[in-house]
Amino acid sequence: MEANKLKLLAIDDNRDNLTSLKAVVTDRLPGAALLTAMNGARGLELAMAEDPDVILLDIVMPGMDGYAVCRKLKQDERLQSIPVIFLTALKTDQESRIRALDAGAEGFLSKPFDEAELIAQVRAMAKIKAANQYKRLEIEQLEALVAERTRELEQELAERKQAENALRISEERYRNLLVNLETGIVVHSPDTSIFMSNNRASELLGISIDQMKGKAAIDPAWKFVSEANTPLPLDEYPVNRIVSGKQPIKNHVLGIRQPGKNDIVWVTVNGFPVLDNSGETTEIVISFIDITERKQAEAALQEKHDELTRFNYSVSHDLRSPLVTIKTFLGYLEQDMAKADTKNVARDLGLIHTAADKMNALLEELLDLSRIGRVVNPPVEAPLQKIATDALGGVNK
């Protein structure tokens, strides 16, 4: 604070003392302002209203002495940073000085005072006031920053808690979904060891979830086989294929021979690597979809196809026999007609009709079979050979 801009407050019940102070301030501190009050109550009012840089305070005053005024000043947060210099003519002993310091005063001068000493103390106290104000401003700014940062942290904490709650709910939903999926899910670390799986994967692989954790992708607990029912080569294991190529695999058909079982569980495998920003694999996700029933149905269908092929061959073979019979007797018929052998012609026609009727009956049975999809009255063994034998009637020409 510059000297010519100082604002001083003098509190003294003696008007002459105030006049003397005003003269000293005007002479020694040109441009400084001196406010005056003749009692403690008025002094407190002016201190509150004007916020002076230094207060010059007498001790002995009616109503409220200087000690009481000083204590009130120092108890008020708005006024406590104003330095107080006691000026007294009556209370100059050591005990009075101690009481002044206990009340919170920063200075003490006896009347009559040395003008140079007074001005020096005023200047020093003004600097203390400026330092206190600066410190208070810093504290206020710091408190404001702390309050603002506290609000921000509270907001961040609330948002984080909200995000954590949302994440927890999402994880619970994901966990429930994962556990109850009909698709087996296994998650591997980059070294191909398993760190997460679901119930369906446990069922398909034939090993508990707890036992599965930490196991490598290739483990003696289970064996993968190819579609040819041969052991799967090492580099064909789904996880190894993904690790080596960092590319997803789709609908890769594998057989799983579960521990202690001979039957094979057939699955389609899909998998993909999860990569970080640098392209490194952070985890590998593998899914298993059970297609055992489909494979069994395909095998059963193939078996039926093979049976139908054999049946068609048998039918075509058996149908050929009566056709040969008919063709043969047509030849006999032509010969007998050329000879005008009416007896043999009649016989030939009868045998041809018999063979044709038998073949027609067989064809009707085949049509019935195709309509209902099953054999109701299966024909006797080699029925068409019997038809041919009956048609020939034991005739040997």
What is the model's pLDDT at position 85?
A: 94
* β pairing state of 194-197 and 264-275: unpaired
- Give the list of residues 6+ apart from residue 171 with CB closer than 8 angstroms, or none: none
Quote the pLDDT of residue 370.
Answer: 62
Both 306 and 327 in a single domain? yes
Question: What is the reported pLDDT for 195?
Answer: 80
Instruction: Summarize the confidence of residues 45-69 as an average pLDDT.
Output: 94
The amino acid present at 324, given as its one-letter code, is V
d(CA 198, CA 187): 9
Measured between alpha carbons, how far apart are the two ends of the chain, in Å? 151
210 occurs within a structural domain: yes
Amino acid at 281: T
Question: Model-level pTM?
Answer: 0.45
Residue type, 187: V
Residue 287, φ and ψ in degrees, nearest 5: -120, 145
Please tell me the distance from the alpha carbon of residue 2 to that of residue 7, in angstroms, as a whole number: 10
Residue 227 in this model has a pLDDT that exceeds 80: no
pLDDT at residue 392, as a whole number: 45
Q: What are phi and psi of 334, to 5 degrees?
A: -60, -40
For residue 232, give the DSSP letter: P
Domain of 188?
184-289
- Is 346 inside a domain boundary? yes
Last residue of a domain, one of 254, 289, 324: 289
Residues 19 and 54 in one domain: yes
Mean pLDDT, residues 293-320: 78
Number of structural domains found in the chain: 3
Token pair 């079979």: residue: 369
**CA atoms of 266 and 227, how far apart (whole Å):** 9
Residue 230 has pLDDT above 90, yes or no: no
**Which residue did the predictor score with more confidence, 186 or 244?**
186
Residue bearing the bigger pLDDT, 84 or 131: 84
Higher pLDDT among residues 374 and 296, named by residue: 296
Examine the pLDDT at 42 and tell me if it is beyond 50. yes
DSSP conformation class of 182 = S
Distance between CA atoms of 28 and 40, rounded to whole angstroms? 26
pLDDT at 219: 55
